[in-house]
Each structure stands twice: as C-alpha cells, then as structure tokens.
Amino acid sequence: MKTRVTILASEPREFTNKSGKKTTTFICQCIVHGDKVEVGVLRLRESLVPGYVEGQAPVTPMPGDYLAEFGLQVAWDSKELGGTLKAFTPMNGSSAGRAVADVVAGKETKAPAQ
C-alpha cells in the first residue's frame, strides 16, 4: 500500500540494542492523505530517510511530502502479522507549507495509485 505523507516536524531519538549498536529513529509529526486526512506520528528509522549512508551521521528528514510504502511483516517472536514501513520517497516539488494549505483549502491530493 502506498500513501502520501506530509512531514511537518521531526525529532531524533537514539536507541541502543542489546549488542551495544546505536540506531536513530525519527519521531515525525505528519499529515496522512487518504480517504480521510488525518494527523499522526510516524516512527521513521534512519535507514529509510532519503540521503542515508551507513556509517555516517543520521540525516534529518526535511519537512515536505513523501510517498510512504507499507507492507506486512511477521514478528520473529510471536509470529503475528503487522504493518511495516518498507520505503519512504520524497515527492518532487512538494513542501509541507503547501500541503498544509491544500488540506485547509480542501484541495489535498492522494498518492498515485499503484
């Protein structure tokens, strides 16, 4: 499933796993454009941020429009199915300010159907 997401702001959070490796997850305030426009929070792992290079400092996601692709994942411990973010791609020529203005004016657009 693909959907358009507008990042308004993001904040990095650093986590350390059991082996001591540090990873960064960005907590992003977003507008989700779908059948119904909603506001929410997206947990975006550093490896999905456009411009990410392994071994370098994390790149903060810029405010603007992105195409988010979701899929299913099986949990290794409980074997339960759950949703997961598979890809996160910037939409060219889009800004967060324009997306917010479109939502307020009722002219928001959805992600292209795939």
30 vs 6, 18, 104, 111, CA distance in Å?
5, 30, 15, 15
Q: How confident is the model at residue 35 (pLDDT cuts 50, 70, 90)?
A: confident
- Is 106 exposed, middle or buried (CB count within 10 Å of its CB: 0-12, 13-18, 19+)? exposed
pLDDT given at position 104: 63
Structural domains of the chain ordered from first start: 2-105 (2.40.50)
Q: Copy the structure tokens of residue 76.
A: 């290794």
pLDDT given at position 22: 86
Q: How confident is the model at residue 25 (pLDDT cuts 50, 70, 90)?
A: very high
Q: Summarize pLDDT for 54-105 with one digit per residue, the tens.
A: 888 888 998 889 999 999 999 888 999 988 899 999 987 666 666 666 766 6
Q: What is the mean pLDDT of the chain?
A: 84
